[in-house]
């Protein structure tokens, strides 16, 4: 792990506007200077952490805790309401890339566009198309419009494009843990290999994988950082809470 910072999140907060009544959004547009017609819902609250080059960081938390929103901010999909984030290096955001595919274009065409979005030269991604197709392993669907794909097939394509993007930072969301065991094993093998040279930020409910892969784990609870530290320590505290286990008493050493 290098001392160089590649991800820095400083006091990030993210709020969404919730409108209770049907016409409240229109009222806000017309009369928002004088009165507020929405309620703010804070998904993230004062989140701060740093990730160094070559580090592998896991993010855990209950569903709805704000984990995916945090990844979206780091990927640049959405902006924080308050605070700041800086990212250094080429990012391969598997979740973001898959959600941005064009349903009318073929898998091959989406792979070309996806590579361009990730900053890969067209000549380079064209030379790697056969490898991308082999990794995705979706057969002739690679040449069919994405609207014919299942969710799992689109996720395979997104992962395959990111695998050949020469990224510095890999960002993976648990939502992409789809497909058969063979494909999941292929993805796991790629992540393990990428971890030897790149930086990884991964959201997962697979505690065993995070314990084995990560250098640190961040526990997000109700939009805030509940804990950050060694994987086994943070994961154990998290599991104790969600499983309702009592913490064993510590015996003082002699």
Handedness of CA 84, 166, 185, 99 (dihedral sign): positive
The whole-angstrom separation of Cα 105 and Cα 21 is 38
Which domains are delineated in the chain?
55-242 (3.40.50.300)
Orientation angle between helical segments 151-163 and 129-136, nearest 10 degrees = 140
User: Residue 203 — φ and ψ, nearest 5°?
Assistant: -100, 130
pLDDT by residue for the chain (254 residues), tens digit each?
567 899 999 999 999 988 888 898 888 888 888 988 888 899 999 999 999 999 999 999 999 899 989 998 998 888 999 999 999 988 888 766 666 789 999 999 999 998 988 888 999 999 999 999 999 999 999 999 999 998 888 888 988 998 898 889 999 876 555 567 788 788 888 888 888 888 999 998 889 889 988 999 999 999 999 999 999 999 999 999 988 754 554 443 43
Provide the H-helix boundaries in 137-252: 151-163, 181-194, 207-213, 231-242
């Amino acid at each position: 792990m290098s001392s160089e910072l590649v991800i820095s999140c400083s006091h990030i907060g993210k709020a969404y506007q919730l409108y209770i009544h049907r016409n409240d959004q229109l009222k806000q547009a017309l009369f928002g200077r004088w009165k507020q017609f929405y309620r703010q819902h804070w998904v993230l609250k004062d989140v701060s952490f740093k990730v160094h080059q070559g580090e592998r960081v896991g993010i855990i938390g209950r569903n709805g805790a704000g984990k995916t929103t945090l990844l979206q901010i780091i990927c640049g999909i959405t902006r924080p309401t308050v605070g700041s984030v800086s990212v250094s290096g080429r990012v391969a955001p598997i979740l973001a890339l898959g959600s941005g595919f064009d349903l009318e274009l073929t898998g091959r065409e989406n792979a070309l566009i996806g590579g361009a979005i990730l900053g890969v030269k067209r000549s380079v991604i064209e030379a790697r198309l056969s490898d991308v197709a082999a990794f995705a392993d979706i057969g002739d669907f690679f040449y069919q419009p994405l609207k014919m794909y299942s969710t799992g097939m689109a996720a395979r394509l997104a992962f395959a494009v990111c695998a050949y993007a020469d990224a510095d930072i890999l960002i993976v969301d648990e939502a992409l843990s789809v497909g058969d065991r063979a494909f999941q094993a292929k993805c796991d093998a790629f992540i393990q290999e990428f971890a030897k040279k790149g930086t990884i930020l991964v959201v997962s409910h697979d505690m065993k994988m995070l314990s084995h892969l990560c250098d640190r784990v961040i526990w997000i609870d109700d939009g805030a950082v509940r804990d950050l530290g060694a994987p086994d320590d943070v994961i154990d505290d998290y599991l104790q809470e969600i499983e309702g286990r009592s913490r064993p008493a510590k015996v003082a050493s002699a």
